Chain A
Amino acid sequence: MAKDDNSGKDLAAADSSGVGHEGAPAGTAVVVRDAVGNPGLPPHRPRVTDLDPSAERRAERTVYTLFYLSIVGSVFAIAAYMAFPIVPEDPGSVRTNNLFIGLGLTLALMAIGIGAVHWGKALMFDHEGIDERHPVRGSEETRSRAVEIFQEAGEESGIGRRTLIRNSLIGALIAFPLPAVVLFRGLGPQDDNPAALLSHTMWKKGTRLALDPTGTPIKASDITLGSAFHVIPEGLQDLEHGKLEEKGKAAVLLMRLKPEDLNELPERKGWSYDGIVAYSKICTHVGCPVALYEQQTHHLLCPCHQSQFDVSNHCEVIFGPAKRPLPQLPIAVDSEGYLIAQSDFTEPVGPSFWERH
């Protein structure tokens, strides 16, 4: 049927009245009145395995050899499971376990796959078949019967006439999922206000600055010029609950610059100590830790989206998607020489949020 009777119908049918095959409009498709005819299926070309019996036998041999190889692969994988156990505290044994079980399974799978495909391509009957297509839409008869069914159902139920029933049902169907929406309020704790939580951290007047992750308090004299320390509030390590949540807000970077390199805002004159400054480590863009300090230029770089902050200029943004400078933690030194916070941050740390102002 593919031989010639359909040739060129596809194009020729798109005539100027805009009606294509199956009566559908062809839009702006162009009619080619003298379209070249479809020559029909090209003559079938036999394969080597069709012509040469020894090639056919070879292909058959290949296929069953592959299937046997697959069995070998499966057995090998089971053997490898036992022969290459994971020895505690020997990472090399994990590697050999992974490698040999994996290679065994690879052989088992690949051999089945290649064997089956080769069987299909080289040995199975390879004359092309033809299926006829029918329009996807139902026949006119089917469609009118479908319409009829809906009409009958409408008649018999009276959904068109009994409008009160219909409308109240629609209302009920809209209302019944609403309680589910309300239930989702329970995803977060009931009585907290997120915006208020975001505005405070663990820092308060007198909290000692401690090393991350050990929690050892830091003396001002330990901070050499040009160094940078990862800092957490003292006591954070001993928290029973919410350690990561507090750390996610309170993490601080401590750096010592030459006092003359620091260009401090007048209202923050007292926030540093002898060239030592402390800034929030949480990026004001989307909250990654701003962990990379460039000692020579005094720039901080966020490794996630490359926002850059200039420490000598109160951590203002010099490049990247962040807008706000990193919040500064006012620091001082207590009587024993340890660095302490003068207060909490004076603004919310981390990414911006709607209620922030």
Chain B
Amino acid sequence: MSTTTTTTELVETKKSGGLTAVAANYIDERTSISTAVKELGRKIFPDHWSFLLGEVALYSFVIILLSGSFLTFFFSASMAPVQYDGSYVPLKGVEMSAAMSSSLDISFDIRGGLLMRQVHHWAALLFVAAIGLHMLRIYFTGAFRKPRELNWVIGFILFILAMAEGFTGYSLPDDLLSGNGLRIIDGMVKGIPLVGTWISYLLFGGEFPGEAIVGRLYSLHILLLPAIIVALIAMHLLFVVVHKHTQYPGAGRTNQNVVGYPVLPVYAAKAGGFFFIVFGVVMLMASLFTINPIWNYGPYDPSPVSAGTQPDWYIGFADGALRLIPPGLEFVWLDRTFSFNILIPLVSLGLFILVVLIYPFIEAWVTGDKREHHILDRPRNAPTRTAIGAAGVTFYAALWATASSDIIATHFSVTMEGVIHTMQFLTIVGPFIAFFVAKRVCLALQKKDREIVLHGYESGRIVRLPGGEYIEVHQPIDEYERWKLVSYSDYKPLMIRPNAQGKITTGQKLRAGMSRWFFEDRIEPVGNTELEQSHGDHH
């Protein structure tokens, strides 16, 4: 940022020939950076709190890189057994892996080491959470529509990679809890038909747990995955620049403009400052709240385990899916074992992920709309999309809550079986209920918007008419507010027409069916005629 600032000054101070000007000139003659400043320096970004979610994700990733680099200087990614000889008395003399021992040393023998470990872990939890919320924002406002479909895909891959980073990092200290996590992964991998046993064998370098896995996950965690993530983030941001940011509907904003503030100076200050705020909040959490106290768990041992074991939050949905499977779904057939108790969760989660990944293309196919969309939808103005989102969130939330089924059972003194059966019901029926409720709520909100546009808002002033009747005075809203309520794009269900051969193809029928499902319940935006007719209608 400092180089770009100095270059802007170049323009003004060239004549005076100060040190800044000389430096700026030196750089520009070797990099042509003035072109970049000219293109990007005054680029306009729109303002909204929800646009900060992606920034939080980006900044937490920077924090993760910074704190993670510090940790690599002390961590030893080896599973060679050593006798612990650090400051933490209860584990003195206990045999453990070098990974666990060095993680304990980071926590107990290096000043600020525990702080950096906790910054790293909290930032990682925040990273995945921020990506998730950012994705929900994109989804519910329709920001994935043309021309941003590919950026949705990139972002979604980043979400998956963030979870992979989280899981590989979680496994590195080789403590009891993370070892059990790996044991579960091993068990799941073994359940995959045909190749599962071999994949597990190769992954762990022999039998579970072996002495290879921590080193291998370390390579993935600090080299391969971060490199891919950095590359994808660069692409993600490049696309944001190419597309220019979306904006919420509002007076003066159109599909052909961007209204907001320039990068220099306003966004440099606000976004730059926001990085420090995010970092500060993570630092505060790391100083006040313990995360992942591996010293309480002890080193990994395949035999002990404590009740209430849980993964980090973002793996919860997968763990929950495993718990929901009813007994008995495993068969021996043709002398081979088919573990449907593993395959059903794997396949359903895979399908769920796939549907989320390709959703933009499904919706584009249903609407047939090939225009660019830069004005965001208010979620209510796309009722079916919002309802699908609500169903997806409910499905995910049910799986996620199931990962705590034992804690729910002990905390509320209910039976384990009761919790599981309830969650099974919620996972399957919950999304349908959520779909229905969300859609009705959206339609009702759209009706309310119409009502406000046509008849004004309730002013709270009650007057008595000469005839004795009491009415509440409705005030018309101003034209700027009104614009937000009337300016949305509306679709109608697709009419099937035979093609050139006079046939109606199955694809056409499917698309028409989907289109009907999406758009048969619709509330039209208010037009001028209607608006004029309603004038004088305000009591």
* Stretch from B21-29, B153-161, B202-210, B457-465 that touches the partner: B202-210
Which residues of B lie under 8 Å from residue A41 when comparing CB positions? 251-252, 259
Assuming A113-B277, A286-B186, A322-B327, is B209 touching A248 (CB within 8 A)?
Answer: yes
Q: Is the CB of A352 within 8 A of B280?
A: no
Assuming A124-B265, A247-B301, is B205 touching A188 (CB within 8 A)?
Answer: yes
Q: Is the CB of A128 within 8 A of B261?
A: yes
Q: How far is the CA of A82 from the CA of B388 in the complex (A)?
A: 56
A141 at the interface (CB under 8 A from B): no
Q: How far is the CA of A21 from the CA of B204 in the complex (A)?
A: 56
Q: How far is the CB of B68 from chain A (nearest CB, A)?
A: 16
* Stretch from A4-12, A47-55, A146-154 that touches the partner: A4-12
Interface centre among A6, A133, A285 (most CB of B within 10 A): A285
Q: Is the CB of A36 within 8 A of B115?
A: no
Q: In chain A, what residue has the closest Cβ to B79?
A: A244
Q: How far is the CA of A106 from the CA of B122 in the complex (A)?
A: 14
A2 at the interface (CB under 8 A from B): yes
Q: Is the CB of B206 within 8 A of A286?
A: no
Q: Is the CB of B406 within 8 A of A303?
A: yes
From the candidates B81, B332, B341, name the one contacting A357 in the complex (CB within 8 A): B332
Which residues of A lie under 8 Å from residue B270 when comparing CB positions? 116-117, 120-121
Which residues of B lie under 8 Å from residue A28 when comparing CB positions? 367-369, 491-494, 515, 519
Q: Is the CB of B280 within 8 A of A230?
A: no
Which residues of B lie under 8 Å from residue A125 when comparing CB positions? 266
* Stretch from A97-105, A156-164, A166-174, A262-270 that touches the partner: A97-105
From the candidates A130, A135, A197, A301, name the one contacting B207 in the complex (CB within 8 A): A197
Q: Is the CB of B198 within 8 A of A194?
A: yes
Which residues of A lie under 8 Å from residue B312 when comparing CB positions? none
What is the interface residue range for chain B against chain A? 35 or more
Q: Is the CB of A30 within 8 A of B260?
A: no
Q: In chain B, what residue has the closest Cβ to A90?
A: B87
Q: Is the CB of A353 within 8 A of B259?
A: no
B412 at the interface (CB under 8 A from A): no
Q: Is the CB of B262 within 8 A of A245?
A: no
Which residues of B lie under 8 Å from residue A105 when comparing CB positions? 115, 283, 287
Assuming A89-B89, A120-B273, A185-B202, is B42 touching A286 (CB within 8 A)?
Answer: no
B255 at the interface (CB under 8 A from A): yes
Assuming A94-B114, A124-B266, is B207 touching A36 (CB within 8 A)?
Answer: no
Q: How far is the CA of A327 from the CA of B444 in the complex (A)?
A: 58
Q: In chain B, what residue has the closest Cβ to A321?
A: B325
What is the interface residue range for chain A against chain B? 35 or more
Which residues of A lie under 8 Å from residue B81 when comparing CB positions? 243
Q: Is the CB of A245 within 8 A of B276?
A: no
Assuming A98-B118, A245-B210, is B487 touching A10 (CB within 8 A)?
Answer: yes
Q: Is the CB of A113 within 8 A of B280?
A: yes
Q: How far is the CA of A35 from the CA of B255 in the complex (A)?
A: 15
CB proximity to A under 8 Å, residues B290-342 = 300-309, 319, 322-330, 332, 335-337, 339, 341-342
Which residues of A lie under 8 Å from residue B257 when comparing CB positions? 1-2, 6, 130-133
B482 at the interface (CB under 8 A from A): yes
Q: How far is the CA of A252 from the CA of B478 in the complex (A)?
A: 76
Q: How far is the CA of A356 from the CA of B424 in the complex (A)?
A: 29
Which residues of A lie under 8 Å from residue B527 when comparing CB positions? 32-36
Q: How far is the CB of B249 from chain A (nearest CB, A)?
A: 9
Q: Is the CB of A353 within 8 A of B255?
A: no
A292 at the interface (CB under 8 A from B): yes
Bitwise interface map of B from 169 to 200 toward A, beta carbon under 8 Å scored 1, else 0: 00000000000100110111011111111101
Q: Is the CB of B370 within 8 A of A26?
A: yes
Q: How far is the CA of A351 from the CA of B89 in the complex (A)?
A: 36
Q: Is the CB of A286 within 8 A of B342?
A: yes
A306 at the interface (CB under 8 A from B): yes
Q: Is the CB of A109 within 8 A of B283?
A: yes
By a beta-carbon cutoff of 8 Å, the part of chain A in contact with chain B is 1-3, 6-11, 14, 18, 20-22, 24-30, 32-42, 81, 85-86, 88-91, 94, 97-99, 101-103, 105-107, 109-110, 112-121, 124-126, 128-133, 135-136, 184-185, 187-189, 192, 194-195, 197-198, 212-213, 230, 232, 242-245, 247-249, 251, 281-283, 285-289, 291-292, 301, 303-308, 317-324, 350-357
By a beta-carbon cutoff of 8 Å, the part of chain B in contact with chain A is 42-44, 81, 87-89, 107-112, 114-115, 118, 147, 180, 183-184, 186-188, 190-198, 200-210, 212, 216, 242-244, 251-262, 265-267, 269-270, 272-281, 283-284, 286-288, 300-309, 319, 322-330, 332, 335-337, 339, 341-342, 367-372, 374-375, 405-406, 416-417, 420, 479-480, 482-483, 486-487, 489-494, 515, 519, 524-529, 531
With A94-B114, A357-B335 already in contact, 6 other A-B pairs whose C-beta atoms are closer than 8 Å: A24-B370, A133-B256, A244-B209, A287-B183, A303-B406, A307-B327
A-B contact pairs, 12 of them (CB 8 A): A40-B252, A88-B109, A102-B286, A102-B288, A105-B287, A130-B258, A131-B43, A187-B203, A244-B209, A351-B186, A354-B336, A355-B337
> Which 8 pairs of residues, A with B, have the shortest CB-CB distance?
A102-B287, A286-B187, A27-B368, A116-B273, A113-B276, A41-B252, A120-B269, A110-B280
